[in-house]
Structure 1
Amino acid sequence: MNASKAGSAITWTDPDDAPELSDEFFERADEYAGENLVRRGRPAGSRKTATTIRFDDDVLAAFRATGKGWQTRMNDALKDWLKTHSPV
């Protein structure tokens, strides 16, 4: 049988101490349209699919070294390659 535990002390936080909500915050926020989640920053009709793929360690290290957004840059590099090459 579980014994009743004393409740945690509630500390009041002044709403004026809350961080400022900047434009960057809202640009990165998720937006719902009804029950559907709409991610901001992607053009309408631009769909992406999660997948598992293997790359050489040096290729991943090179893209990761470029910092935040490396996956988008890798995707852009592959799109650029497709402009001049046939994947078949």
Structure 2
Amino acid sequence: MKHKLDPKRPTQPTAAQRKRLQAVADKPDADIDYRDIPALSPEFWAAHRPVRSEPKAQVTLRIDREVLDYFKSGGTGYQTRINDVLRSFVAAHNDAHR
């Protein structure tokens, strides 16, 4: 049997599925076993850029030279990589404050 997902009308999880999802959400990160998940290589990230729908703000930002040199050493797209790192930081800290 094939199932087709309609993103405009997602199916709602059952009570059992919600309970299981909540149990996973409540688990501390330190208790999660990541051994069966392969590490993502730089080649993966070079080929898979996230798509953003919101416009970015242009700013002037002072960054330590060694930090800037590190990101620039990865070639074009260094500003996007810096943004991705900052986005990850914000997400991690937003989760920690909830």
More strand by share: 1
More helix by share: 2
Larger radius of gyration: 1
TM-score by length of 1: 0.45
